[in-house]
Structure formats: C-alpha cells, structure tokens
Structure 1
Amino acid sequence: MLINADLHTHSCFSAATSKDMVISNIAPKSREKGLNLVGTGDAFHPKWLDIIEESTDYKGDGIYSHKDCDFVLTTEVEAKHKIHHLIILPNIEVARELSHKLVSSNKYIDGRPRSPLSGAELLELVKEYDCMIGPAHAFTPWTGMYKTYDSIYDCYGKKPDFVELGLSADTDMADTVKELSDFVFLTNSDAHSPWPHRLGREFNQIEMKDISYSSLQKALKHKDVKANYGLLPNLGKYHMTACTNCYKIIDPEIAKSNNMKCSCGGRIKKGVDFRISEIADYKNAKHPSFRPPYVHLMPLAEIISMIYDKGITTKTVQRTWQRLIDSFGPEIDVLINTQLEDISKIDDKIALGIEGFRNKTLDVVPGGGGKYGEIHFSERIDEPKPKSEKILTLDNF
C-alpha cells in the first residue's frame, strides 16, 4: 500500500512552535492534506508523551491513532556542533527510556533537546533500541550536518538510515554528491504549526505492507520511497546565500571576501545552493536507479493568499482553502489531480493559479538568509510581475 508520510513535525513544547500543535489539531489537518502517517515530533519530552498516550489509541507496532490519522514517534535532537538529527522510535516505552538516558540540559523544557553527544555517539545510543536516525535538513546553514562536515561518515562514523533533504534542497541537488547515491532521501515538513501551508508541505510516498513501525523500517531499508513531494527548493528560506538582516541575496564569493558581513551590517549566511556546490562531485545530478521522482509542490493556501493579496491565516484565505478541500478532497488531490474546470466552478482565479503551478509558469524570487522565497503568477491572473531580485556583485554590493 502507498502511504503519504510526513515524518518530521514538532509539538507545542518546541521553541517557536504554535500552542495549537497538539494531536487533536494535527490529526484532522493531516487528513485534509492527504497524509496517512505523521511523525509526532518531540518524543523525548515527557509531557508530550503523556499527551500522546492520552489523545491516541495504540494500534500496536509503534502506531498511535487519533480519528483516522496514524502517528509514529519521532524527535529531533540538537547534538554536537549544533547539528540536528531526526530519530524515529518504535514505541513510547523506548522513547521514555531514551529520554531518561539522553544527556541534555533542556529536555524537560524544549521539545527539541540539546545534547553534547556527537552524531556517532547518538547513532550508537538509539541503535541499541532499534531506532532509525539520519541528519535533519542535512544542508541548511545553521543546523544541517553538511554545514560542519564534508562527509556524512565523518559525522556518524557509519551509515545512518536516511538523509532528510530539507526545504531548500531537492534530489537534483543532493544527487550531485556521490556519497549520497546509496541513501534513501526523506522530504518532511518540519512543521511548527498545523496551518495548511506548513503541515505536510513536504512528505514522502512510501510503499509499505501496512502502517506499522516495522513496515516503515523495512521500507526505508529497502528504499521503497516511491516519490518525494516538496517545495521548489528556491522557495526555502536558506536556499541562496543572503543577509540574515536585510535578506539581500549576495554572491557567495563576494560574501566570503567581506567576511560574511553585509553592507547593512548584518550577518550573511551561506545558502544551501552554494554549500552543495562546494561538496558536489558532479556538475549535474546522477540519480541511482532506485531514486524516485521528486514532485514539486506549493501549499494551496499560498496560492490563494497571493491571488487575493491577503495573509495566509486570514479568514478569506482559510475559508477558500476549506471550501476547496470540502469540495474535492485532500489538498494533494486539489493541487495535482482535480480538473481545472471543476475548480473554476468555485473560483476562476484559483483555477488559473493552480494551472500556473502545474505548468510551472511562475516567477520565483528565491529565499535566503531566513526568508522564504516568493512565487508570483503570470499576467493572466491580472497581477503585475515583480522585478526579479538581483544577486549582489562587486559592482552593486
């Protein structure tokens, strides 16, 4: 069976995360997105584990269910060198025992615990309990594994179970790195809120015998991910090298020559695009035979928001989003499968926006420095095209 799985989210106990990230909110929104299996996030936080136990029915083999949405225990740990690691766990008993064993100064405060362990030490610890582990958003400049290491084996000492690409990368970028040709790639949302433009914005379509921990474990081991769904990578907020203060996109060589300081006084952060180019072995991607297609998505709420020039969380955008979901089913189907003429019966402009998304007739202002990229549709939606963001060079820095 094909399962749509988003395996990296956070709970209300993580820093900078919505108080609405609780099971009773995550479950229905996940189903509306078209997800079958969702990572709980924050599985080393004792109070979050209590909530999971109280809010779900245990179906066995690591699966906790709430109103037709299945959950598997996951957590993100910030370990040595501030590198983030994604861990998938077999059950609550293991989560509690590992939480007790993990050396961390903040595990009872923050859903994402900090630990002095190295990647290799963390791998050895969780493997004692049959957990799965891999780098979270592997290429991002603040907390990705490759911001510190040039090789994944330098971090873990041996092969981890997967590599999570992150919002600012896709398989075309990652498969320029030779050592990753034997890894299964995961694309997950890293959602901090249940809003429809966050939860499930990236997910994996996985062939599984059933929805269970052991089936997921076998699927990742045998590379049975059949499709990765995710954002256009230049929409990610760390895709390009840019200033973290004014968000100007800056040529990486110029940034380095100025000691990563912007003319505004802000700090420049190396982008995922440039970081991958530094460690790449190939100019163009060389996909292994098992590598599935990468399907670029854009959250439906963002399409609606841009068309009507209203905030994503406004009543207008959310009502329109809900109407489309109620009419045609999960968001994934609305974006990819629903006939445009059917959508136009509800809203002509939305139909044109989705058509532009499907046809890739979009103007993209890339993200960087902590600011998400922006998409603008063509003139046929009666909106003026923005001027493209210029990359700063020696002449205009």
Structure 2
Amino acid sequence: MQYICDFHTHSKYSRATSKQADIDNFGKWAKIKGVDVLGTGDFTHPLWFRGLKERLIPAEDGLFKLKPSNGNNHNGNNHNETRFILTTEISSIYSKNGKTRKIHNIIFAPSFEVVEKINTHLGWIGNLKSDGRPILGLDAKELAKIVLGISPDCMVIPAHAWTPWFSIFGHFSGFDSIEECFEEYSKYIYAIETGLSSDPEMNWRWSKLDNITLISNSDAHSPHKIGREANIFEGEKISYNLITEAIKRKSDELKLVRTLEFFPEEGKYHWDGHRDCGVVLSPEESLKYNNLCPVCGKMMTIGVMNRVCQLADRKDDTKPANAIPFQKLIPLEEIIADVIGLGVGTKGVEAHYKNLIRVFGNEFNILLNVRKGELTGASSPEIAEGIEKVRQGKISIQPGYDGEFGKISVFGETEQRPKTNGGQEVLF
C-alpha cells in the first residue's frame, strides 16, 4: 500500500496565511488532493494546539484523525480518512561564527504530551503566541538539543534547505554544511526538506548529502496548496514511528519510495535576480556581474541554483547509488488554467477541476495514474494533453527569482494553444 504524506503546513495563526487554514479545511482538502498523512503545522501556537487537542483523536500509533462531526463523513476506523502527524516549524535567528543566522526547522513529535513539554520549554525562550511559526533567538543546535532531550522520538529536519534568507544552506544567512550548523547534533539530522526551488537532482550534486534523506512538502499557507510537494511511502501499515524510521532509512516495514516535486524553476527563488528592476539571471550570468544588479548596481537576491553550484562537488548528471526517485508535477488547477487561458481560481477553472475530482476521486490520482484516454472522456482532449505533457516534462517555465514564482506554459510560446470555451462544456 502507498501513502502520500505532506508534513509541512501552516495554520491561520501563522503570518501570511489564509483564514481558511483550519484543521477541518485541511482534512477536506487533503482528501481532495489525495494526501493520506498531513502535518498539522504550528503546534507551538497555543490556540492552534488547543484546537488540535479538541478536534483530533488517536488513530494509528502517533497519528491522529478528525473527530466525527456533523457535515463530514468520518466514521469508525475508516482507513480512508486522512491521518494527521504533529509538526511545527521554528524560525531561529541568532549569531554564530561572526554571522547572523536565520534557520527554519521542522519538528516532528509523537504525542500531545511531548508537544506540551516542547511548548513549555520553548515558551521560556520566546513568545509562542505571536506567530504560528515562532521566531526564537535560539541556536538551531540548541533547538535540536531541547527537542531531542524531551523525546528521542522527535525529529528535527531543516526546512526548505536552500532558500536565500531562512534556511540551513541559504546564501545570505546559512551554513556550508549540516555539521557547521548542528555540530555534535548533526548525527541526529537524518533529512532535509529540499524546498520548492530545488529538486533532488540538484541536491545530488553535493556528496555531503548522499546519506541524508531528501523529503518534499508543500509548506502550504492555505488548504488548497496542500500537496504541491509530497512524499510517497510504501508498506503494509503506517504509524508515527514507521514514518520516522523510514526517513532515517532504518525501517523494513515502511519505505520512502518517491517524492513528488514542483518543477524547481517554478519556485520563487530558483534563479538570481532583482525584482524591483525586473532582472533575472542564471548563476553563470550573475557571475559576470559579481552578483550585482546590472541595472541599479545593488546586490541581487542569490537564488537556490546559484547556491547549489557554490557547494556542489559533482556534475549535473550524477545520481547517488541510494537516491530515492522523484517525479515533477504541476498542480492540476494550474494546468487547467494554462490550457483554457483563464486564471487559477476562476469559475471556468474551478468547474473543470471539480468535475475531474468528482470522476476520479482526488488530484494525485488524476496527475499520476489516470490514463490519457479516460481524462479526455471526463474533461477535454486539451486538458488531457496538458496533463500528459506535464507527466513527460514537456513544458516551458520562466524561472522564478527574488520572491517571484516562475511562470509556467504547458504548451509553450511556440505551440498552438488549444481553443477552449473556458469550461462551458463541463457536465455534472
């Protein structure tokens, strides 16, 4: 059996998140997306944590499910229900080795009791009420020491490891190795989150990551963003300990068999650039300008690809022997929007999306499994062709830079864009 897992989300108590980011909407959208295990996110926030304790009940060991309530279909021990795993993200801002460090880490916890102890301890250090992703003046190594000291079953995983501003390897405030950041606690760092602007293939270029598991998550700030990246595990059953042991590559019962990725060019920090001047450059081009904006002369935001190139010790086509396979995807709404020429969130796109979900169950099933002919019968030849082109990687993307997401074109500028009527032929 396969389980699709997305461990990194944020609630409505985090900054720049949707008001719809509550646990019930997460459960609803996890089903729509096809996510089997979803990280709760933000367990350090007092109000969010109180809500989690009120709305979640135990399922498999260390996993939870929503309590039955009016208006949902949860009943008994239905294994089709979404499971939740207790997670949060901590922002550590501190000085180390003469440089300001800004590091984000994901924390996994096995129980509410462990979370309460973590929250009590971290509450002595900083204000947990101000943000679902609290900012603490706490060395990342000390964070690992505290969390693992409370429970060795917890996990600490560096989040979006390459983003320029808030990550372990980020150009502006990161480190040049896991060991430099976590010191003697490096042996407890089993994985990193690759982030939207990098994919496993980019990470394979650095041999220091050969024994580090590469995981991928949505970092969703609203429910409909769940699953834009995810992890596929395979085994007869699932639990908190089986998940963490699989990430550590110590489990025979559950294996991480594939990750589902953004096209990294779509990420908003993939290439270098200066948004104010509309300048976007590849690492090779940036080198010619000494990383300075060729228009105004200011320092550009150095993107993920550039930073990977700085630390890489291998060529592009290297694949480690123990590498976990991956597949690049584009969210279904974005594919539909590009094909029919309407914006994401418009009624025409929504009509096609809802119809496909109604017919095939969930988004991942549509993106990964449903045959082109079946897609054509349920939607249109153009949308089916768009999904097939994404599966084959035959798309065009203008790389993201300096906080701007990349721009996707499924059919490319030189291809004939299919003529559609904006979704008016969708039948329900």
Partner of 2:181: 155
Look up the SS of the partner of 1:333 in the other structure.
helix
What's the offset of the Cα at 1:238? 0.5
Distance 1:243 1:356 in 2: 31
Partner of 1:143: 166
The answer as to 2:152 corresponding to 1:123 is no
The answer as to 2:300 corresponding to 1:268 is yes
Distance 1:65 1:211 in 2: 13
Coordinate RMSD, CA, aligned = 1.9
Look up the SS of the partner of 2:268 in the other structure.
coil
Range 8-17 or range 87-96, more displaced: 87-96
1:165-244 matched pairs, under 5 angstroms: 165-195=194-224, 198-208=225-235, 210-222=237-249, 224-244=255-275
Distance 2:110 2:208 in 1: 28
Partner of 2:422: none
1:9-88 matched pairs, under 5 angstroms: 9-59=9-59, 61-66=61-66, 67=74, 68-79=81-92, 80=94, 81-88=101-108
Runs of 4+ in 1 over 6 A off after TM superposition: none
Per the alignment, do residues 119 and 372 of structure 1 end up closer, same or farther by CA in structure 2, a change over 3 Å counting?
same
Q: What does the per-residue CA deviation read over 1:298-349, in whole Å, with 9 as the maximum and x for residues that have no partner?
A: 1000011112222212222122111101111221121122121222222222
Distance 1:98 1:381 in 2: 53
The answer as to 2:344 corresponding to 1:312 is yes
TM-score by structure 1 length? 0.91
- Choose the corresponding residue for 1:89, options 109, 114, 127: 109
Unpaired stretches in structure 2, ≥5 consecutive residues:
67-73, 75-80, 95-100, 420-428
Range 53-62 or range 150-159, more displaced: 53-62
What's the offset of the Cα at 1:142? 1.1
| Amino acid corresponding to residue 241 of structure 2 in structure 1 | S
CA contact 2:329–2:391 (8 Å) conserved in 1: no
| Amino acid corresponding to residue 260 of structure 2 in structure 1 | Y
Distance 2:190 2:295 in 1: 42
| Amino acid corresponding to residue 70 of structure 1 in structure 2 | R
| Amino acid corresponding to residue 269 of structure 2 in structure 1 | Y
Look up the SS of the partner of 1:303 in the other structure.
helix
- Sequence identity percentage: 35
Look up the SS of the partner of 1:352 in the other structure.
helix
What's the offset of the Cα at 1:244? 3.3
1:230-379 matched pairs, under 5 angstroms: 230-252=261-283, 255=286, 257=289, 260-261=292-293, 263=295, 268-345=300-377, 346-378=379-411, 379=415
Per the alignment, do residues 218 and 54 of structure 1 end up closer, same or farther by CA in structure 2, a change over 3 Å counting?
same
CA contact 2:198–2:305 (8 Å) conserved in 1: yes
CA contact 1:242–1:250 (8 Å) conserved in 2: yes
Per the alignment, do residues 55 and 10 of structure 1 end up closer, same or farther by CA in structure 2, a change over 3 Å counting?
same
TM-score by structure 2 length? 0.84
Distance 1:137 1:247 in 2: 25
Unpaired stretches in structure 1, ≥5 consecutive residues:
384-397
Distance 1:296 1:64 in 2: 29
What's the offset of the Cα at 1:267? 5.5
Per the alignment, do residues 30 and 284 of structure 1 end up closer, same or farther by CA in structure 2, a change over 3 Å counting?
same
